[in-house]
Amino acid sequence: MILAAERVFDGTDLHHDTEVETEGGRIVALRPARGEVMPGTLAPGLIDLQVNGGGGVMVGPETLDTICEAHGRMGSTGILPTLITDTFDATRAVVEVGLDCTHPGFMGLHLEGPHLDPRRKGAHDAALIRPMEDRDLALLLRAARGLPALMVTLAPEAATAAQIGALAAAGAVVSLGHTDCTAPEAQAAIAAGASCTTHLFNAMAGVTARAPGLAGASFDIAAGIIADGIHVDPLLLRLAMTNPRLFLVTDCMAVAGTDLAEFTLGGRRILRRDGRLTLEDGTLAGADLTLPQAIARMGGDARALAMATSIPAGLMRSDRGRIAPGLPADLVLLEGGAAKRVWRAGVPL
């Protein structure tokens, strides 16, 4: 198969009037186009490291394949299904299913909580938030060693430096979030092994002149950000762009890829109105966003494209997110903030 486009992004650079040849589900060559080109930008399949749901369902033991399939059709051919704060038994059940998941879009799991700071709970259920215990650490270490990849969002207030170090040593990406920690406390967690920040500027203390908090400490590590124009002010987005390891996430929920107007989360109604997802009291509860939309909002240039492909892939030590000979032919054609066409291993979705 040969795909030629006005622009081709290889994970680092943009090429104009270029074609990509694939065979057997792999990239064979990248070269100047020899014929007609498709309008839009051909890019590596998008990578989303914070996906709470999609296709009408939230992450759970029975839904991983459904969510991976729904996001593949929207251009994200590699995702981390994300379980937000839940009981130990519910978390263990998702981990057990994840250990056996073979869906090609499944990159591993993101466990966002329950080891958070209840003062910065956001839409998480405060009754389920708790410090990390020995059995939690044992489960997370098993997941880190058995899954393709594991990201764990925790607050420094809810985990010890030894626990953070053990997770990092086992291969987990420890991400700091839903925390009221100070910058020195964040830096101590980073020194222990944390290497990422979850949804930068959200669910953390604000930045002030003498109290930069986690946000201020996040410019030394990777950081995900929700670029929907709602979660983060455009001025702060410009500031965040000074971090070369910044990447895009959707933080999307069950409504992604559907026309649902609402759903329930832990028995609570989540309303979908005017591009927002909120609890009935107005608290933001994830985002109504796709990665193609986020890329377009960030300008659609090579930097924005890298933030949804090679940068998050690199953080998770994956060979996805790039177009180069020998790599999987996961591709997406982007135009106007939408995924017009998607291929996984060279096969159209």
Q: What tens digit of pLDDT does each residue of 302-325 get? A: 999 999 999 999 999 999 999 999
Whether pLDDT at 266 is above 90: no
Catalytic residues: 251
- pLDDT by residue (tens digit) across 164-181? 999 999 999 999 999 999
Q: Check whether 298 has a pLDDT greater than 90.
A: yes
pLDDT greater than 90 at residue 194: yes
Provide the percentage of residues in the chain whose pLDDT is more than 70.
100
At 197, give phi and psi (nearest 5°).
-125, 135
- Percentage of the chain beyond pLDDT 90 is 99
Cβ atoms of 138 and 110 closer than 8 Å: no
Q: pLDDT digit string (tens) for 17-43?
A: 999 999 999 999 999 999 999 999 999
CA neighbor of 291 nearest in space, from 51, 2, 29, 21: 51
Burial class of residue 165, CB neighbours in 10 A (0-12, 13-18, 19+): middle
- Tell whether pTM > 0.85: yes
Please give the Cα distance from 53 to 325 (Å, whole number).
33
User: For residues 223, 224, 225 and 231, what is the CA-based torsion angle, rounded to 10 degrees?
Assistant: -110
**CA triple 118-178-250, angle to 5 deg:** 135
Phi, psi of 83 (to 5 degrees): -90, 120
pLDDT digits (tens, 9 = 90+) for 48-90: 999 999 999 999 999 999 999 999 999 999 999 999 999 999 9
Q: In a 10 Å sphere around its CB, with 0-12 CB exposed, 13-18 middle and 19+ buried, how is residue 130 labelled?
A: middle
Q: Length of the chain in residues, anyone?
A: 349
DSSP labels, 292-311: HHHHHHTTSSHHHHHTTTHH
DSSP code for 318: -
State the angle between helix axes of 134-146 and 161-169 in degrees (0 to 180), rounded to the nearest 10: 20
Contact yes or no for 209/164 (Cβ under 8 A): no
Helix axis angle, 161-169 to 183-192, nearest 10°: 40
User: Could you tell me which CATH number the domain at 46-320 has?
Assistant: 3.20.20.140
Within the chain, all domains assigned CATH 3.20.20.140 are found at 46-320
Rounded to whole angstroms, the Cα distance separating 132 from 135 reads 8
| Mean pLDDT rounded to a whole number for the chain | 97
Q: How confident is the model at residue 92 (pLDDT cuts 50, 70, 90)?
A: very high
pLDDT in tens, 107-129: 999 999 999 999 999 999 999 99
